[in-house]
Amino acid sequence: MNYLPNILFAIILIAGIGYFARNVKKLFRNIKLGKDKDINDNKSQRWKNMAMIALGQSKMVKRPVSGFFHIIVYVGFVIINIEVLEIIIDGLFGTHRIGLSILPESLYGFLIGTFEVLAALVFIAVIIFWIRRNVIKLKRFMSSEMSGWPKNDGNIILYFEMVLMTLFLVMNATDTSFQALDSGNIISQYIAPLFSGLSENSLHLVERSSWWLHIVGILVFLNYLYYSKHLHILLAFPNTYYGKLTPKGQFPNNDAVTKEVKLMMDPDADPYAVPAEDEADVPPAKFGASDVQDLSWLNLLNAYSCTECGRCTSECPANLTGKKLSPRKIMMDTRDRLEEVGKNIDANNGVFVDDGKQLLNDYITTEELWACTSCNACVEACPISIDPLNIIMEMRNYLVMEQSAAPMELNNMMTNIENNGAPWPYNQMDRLNWKDE
């Protein structure tokens, strides 16, 4: 017996999974560059959110057209890939359709028939997605940040899915022994006549070629995910689990600032008292964030999870009124900078060497940050619980507290609050004059 195909298959399988594992390790390394954030509260609600949002696609269907077709692709792709288990066993042990040896013919036929129907539906859905992007040209896919690689990436993944579904159906259509069963060939029976003029040897060659290209294509697709926005296929689950549970309008307080304010408001406090040498009393080394290492690991997970669907930007009132802000771009810029930092670490033996760049200004401008109204529309719109607003607020904190670089209007307001106890430029004695008018 010739074991060369089995050995070759094992080598390709190990190489594909090994390279994927290497990239996953790098991914976790990059996410851990962010500051620590303890998220262990309300685990039951978090599991529920993950089940409803990531698995159940509950927020996708808020836009019914794209939501419906996305569910077809999502469900179809996941279920069809059960067939990969059979392909792996056949490839490693030299069997052919091992499922027929394990399962009753009727059950096997039902499974493959289901896979074929789903493959056809996925193919149709992907065509519709391609038309929406490239023919109809929906506005949210035409933003400036969606040119170049992001645009190409969106199309590449669609081509991948088309090819993989086609290979699966052609593999079944040219498998003469499978077609002879007349069970499970619900779609492939209509494709088989296209190859009716080929000899048995040629049919076998087409079937084997489709089989090999299908499994190799899946491994290539798996490894392409790391470089693509479709990394959300994997990261949507942890991202929704760790998503924000507090009310969207509730902003976190900075402990160091809160203690300072309490000290100022306490008439009995000694402003010259030496603080306890306790870690909780030590102010942060840096307020806010100017680069990705200043953000939390959750912010960085959010960045890698972004689907680039543009729902956030299409709901953003600042963007809709012509401002430069795009919440999608905020997430894409954060991911691009994080990747740049990761490559820097790889090139310098695991140590980051200052490259003279940072997320603020080199990627995200102050104009974008101050255009935000903090309305949380982007957070509400995101189908996988990403929070662009948190990154914006962290960078604003840095601008105000580290650089005193707030816009003039905001500086005037803060000065008025400090001097007059209100945001308006009126003396406290004159604050109620309006009632006499």
CATH placement of domain 255-420: 1.10.1060
In the chain, the percentage of residues whose pLDDT exceeds 90 is 80
**pLDDT for 352:** 96
- Judged against a pLDDT cut of 70, whether residue 88 lies above it is answered with yes
Query: What does the pLDDT average to over 355-364?
Result: 96
d(CA 73, CA 213): 20
Task: Give Cα separations from 166 to 118, 173, 229, 238, 257 (angstroms).
Answer: 12, 10, 23, 31, 60
**pLDDT for 272:** 67
Domain ranges of the chain: 4-31+63-241, 255-420
In whole numbers, what is the pLDDT of the chain averaged over residues? 92
Residue 364 binned pLDDT confidence (cut-offs 50, 70, 90): very high
Buried (b) or exposed (e) across 15-33, using 16+ Cβ within 10 A? ebeeebeebeebbeebbeb
Residue 409 binned pLDDT confidence (cut-offs 50, 70, 90): confident
Residue 252 φ then ψ, to 5°: -75, 145
| Other beta carbons within 10 Å of 120 | 19
**pLDDT for 78:** 87
- The predicted-structure confidence for 285-318, as pLDDT tens digits, reads as follows 789 999 999 999 999 999 999 999 999 999 999 9
User: 113 and 184 in contact (C-beta within 8 Å)?
Assistant: yes
Task: Give Cα separations from 391 to 116, 299, 384, 397 (angstroms).
Answer: 43, 7, 16, 10
Query: What does the pLDDT average to over 208-233?
Result: 95
**pLDDT for 1:** 57
In the chain, the percentage of residues whose pLDDT exceeds 70 is 96
Query: What does the pLDDT average to over 85-113?
Result: 94
Query: What does the pLDDT average to over 228-247?
Result: 94
- The predicted-structure confidence for 248-299, as pLDDT tens digits, reads as follows 888 888 887 887 777 777 777 776 666 655 545 566 678 999 999 999 999 9
Q: Of the candidates 86, 20, 78, 77, which has an alpha carbon nearest to the alpha carbon of residue 219?
A: 20
d(CA 350, CA 437): 69
- The predicted-structure confidence for 130-176, as pLDDT tens digits, reads as follows 999 999 999 999 999 999 999 999 999 999 999 999 999 999 999 99
- Judged against a pLDDT cut of 70, whether residue 349 lies above it is answered with yes
d(CA 97, CA 95): 7
| Other beta carbons within 10 Å of 418 | 8
Beta bridge partners of 296: 35
DSSP codes joined into one string, 93-125: H--S-THHHHS-HHHHHHHHHHHHHHHHHHHHH
